[in-house]
Amino acid sequence: MHRGKVGVDLGLSAEEKQTLRQIAFQAIRSRCFGEPLPEPSPESPGLKERRGAFVCLHKGKELRGCIGMIEPIEPLYKTVRNMAVEAAFGDPRFCALQSDELDRVDIEISVLTRLERISDTERIEIGKHGIYIRKNYQTGLLLPQVATDNHWDTREFLEWTCRKAGIPSDAWKDPDTEIYIFSADIF
């Protein structure tokens, strides 16, 4: 789906990444069939670390749902489980995932670094950073892979993040607009 490596390596092993994918899939499957959400208890310290994460679902090349938690509130495995369910059933842009779609949906997980407020947009690196913009009570976030997938430059990335926040596309130039960068381990 991506051209080259996007994001950063946060040190999760291939096994930990596979465990997170399984947790996400099992949570979506359970909700599809009206079963209780699984309560995994992974042994890995990396999966118990509090981290923000997004779960995006794709059907072919089309986005089918994407929801995340920016703040590191819960252990990573719980965040992924909960965001997988939200991406499948709670993204207001899409109708709820149906059981007959389960085998046709790809799960993409983005484990986030902490947000870092910036004043110099020259610090934004396409392919490495995602952007979070806040102006008053309106916010918008785009993951690192969005700019890469759309072949955007920094200005376009900032403009589209503003649009996502529901503010004018040039609001990123306003000194009252807060701009944050972050990165993610995307798999």
Domains held by the chain: number:
2
What are the φ/ψ torsions at residue 5 (nearest 5 degrees)? -80, 125
pLDDT in tens, the chain (187 residues): 444 679 999 999 999 999 999 999 999 999 999 999 999 999 999 999 999 999 999 999 899 999 999 999 999 999 999 999 999 999 999 999 999 999 999 999 999 999 999 999 999 999 999 999 999 999 999 999 999 999 999 999 999 999 999 999 999 999 999 999 999 999 9
Q: How would DSSP label each residue in the chain? A: --SS--B---S--HHHHHHHHHHHHHHHHHHHTTPPPP------HHHHSB--EEEEEEETTEEEEEEEE-S--SBHHHHHHHHHHHHHHT-TTSPPPPGGGGGGEEEEEEEEPPPEEES-GGG--TTT-EEEEEETTEEEEE-HHHHHHTT--HHHHHHHHHHHHTS-TTGGGSTTSEEEEE-EEE-
Residue 8 maps to a domain: no
> Which residues, other chains included, contact 10 with Cβ-Cβ below 8 Å and sequence gap of 6+?
111, 113, 185
Predicted TM-score (pTM) of the model is 0.92
Please check whether residues 42 and 95 belong to one and the same domain: yes
Please check whether residues 105 and 129 belong to one and the same domain: no
Residue span of the structural domain in which 23 resides = 14-112
Q: Pick left, alpha or beta for residue 7 (phi over 0 → left; psi -120 to 50 → alpha; otherwise beta).
A: left
Please check whether residues 44 and 99 belong to one and the same domain: yes
The enclosing domain of 171 has a CATH number of 3.30.1490.150
